[in-house]
Amino acid sequence: MSASSVDQQPGNGREPAQLTALLYAMRVWRTKVRHIADPVEPTGQLTAAGRAERAGLDQSQRDQVVRQVAGLDSSWRETVLNPLRAADDGTLQWCGFHVRQPDQTACVPTVLAVQSARGNIALALWLVSGIDTIGIETQLRKVVRDSLPASSSNHDEPQGGEAGSHQAQIAARFGALVRYFQFRATHRGRVRLWPSAWGTPPWGAARVARYGQYRFTSRLVNDLAADSVKHVVGAAVIAADRGVPSVLYVGGDSSTKYRDAVPRHAILLHSSDGAGLAVFEPSAGRIIPVAPEELARSGGPRQAYAGWSHIGWAVVPVQPDV
pLDDT digits (tens, 9 = 90+) for 252-283: 664 454 455 566 799 999 986 667 899 999 99
Q: Are residues 54 and 79 in the same domain?
A: yes
Burial of 185 (0-12, 13-18, 19+ CB in 10 A): buried
Based on the domain organization, do 167 and 262 belong to the same domain? Answer: no
Phi, psi of 8 (to 5 degrees): -80, 150
Same-domain check for residues 166 and 134: yes
Residue 10 C-beta-side C-alpha neighbours within 13 Å: 2
Q: How far apart are CA 317 and CA 74, in angstroms?
A: 32
Q: Are residues 49 and 168 in the same domain?
A: yes
CA dist., res. 250 & res. 20, Å (int): 11
For residue 277, CA distances in Å to 243, 267, 299 come to: 10, 13, 19
181 Cβ contact list (under 8 Å, min separation 6): 108, 109, 112, 113, 116, 208
pLDDT at 43 over 80: no
The verdict on 128 and 23 lying in the same domain is: no
Residue 195 counted as domain residue: no
313 and 215 in one domain? yes
Contact assessment for residue 65 and residue 133, using Cβ atoms and an 8 Å cutoff? yes
Q: What is residue 192's predicted lDDT score, i.e. its pLDDT? A: 57
Examine the domain organization and report whether 179 and 62 are in the same domain: yes
**Cβ contact 240:144 at 8 Å:** no
Range of the domain at 61: 43-186
pTM of the model: 0.84
Q: What is the pLDDT of residues 175-208, one digit of tens each?
A: 999 999 999 888 765 445 666 666 788 989 999 9
Instruction: Report yes or no on 1 lying in a domain.
Output: no
